[in-house]
């Protein structure tokens, strides 16, 4: 199921990037896209991995993300509370360790995206500061 899902996604992406088709290779039921290397456009098949790569976003100190998958076992702050750098915000239970999440800056809690007991995967937004 999971694989089918990914394949379909890729297929859609593929259709978007097709500019030209080479008949000989079309016989193999594969589609060609273009890859830019040093200002030259190469006609070629584009891998799933390349299609699905995540574009880079710089880290935002105002958004606290889970650095590891785990369970939120305690939340020490409330919405609107003033917090200072280094203050404990939450406890994330992961890999048999209770990890204290520390505040990255002086500010105020803008919103809390999780509640006690929530299971979170890596990179989930836990709370936002302002």
What is the contact surface with other proteins in residues (CB under 8 A)?
Answer: 1-3, 22, 25, 32, 35, 37-47, 49-50, 53-56, 69-70, 94-95, 119, 121
Query: What strands lie across the sheet with 97-102, from one edge to the other?
Result: 97-102, 88-94, 70-75, 119-120
Which of 50, 53, 113, 30 minimizes the C-alpha distance to 77?
113
Question: Which residue, 15 or 47, has its beta carbon nearer to other proteins?
Answer: 47
Please state the closest distance from residue 110 (CB atom) to other proteins, in A. Answer: 26
Task: Compare residues 54 and 115 and give the one whose CB is closer to other proteins.
Answer: 54
**Dihedral pair phi/psi, residue 106, rounded to 5°:** -80, 135
Q: Closest separation between CB of residue 45 and other proteins, Å? A: 5
């Amino acid at each position: 199921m999971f694989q089918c899902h990914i394949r379909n996604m890729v297929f859609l992406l593929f259709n978007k990037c097709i500019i030209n088709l080479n008949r000989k290779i079309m016989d193999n039921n594969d589609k060609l896209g273009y890859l830019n290397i040093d200002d030259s456009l190469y006609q070629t098949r584009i891998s799933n991995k390349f299609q699905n790569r995540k574009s880079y976003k710089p880290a935002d100190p105002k958004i606290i993300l889970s650095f590891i998958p785990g369970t939120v076992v305690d939340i020490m702050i409330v919405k609107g509370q003033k917090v200072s750098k280094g203050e404990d915000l939450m406890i994330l239970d992961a890999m048999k360790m209770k990890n204290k999440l520390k505040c990255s800056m002086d500010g105020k809690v803008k919103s809390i995206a999780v509640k006690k007991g929530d299971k979170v995967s890596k990179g989930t937004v836990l709370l936002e500061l302002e």
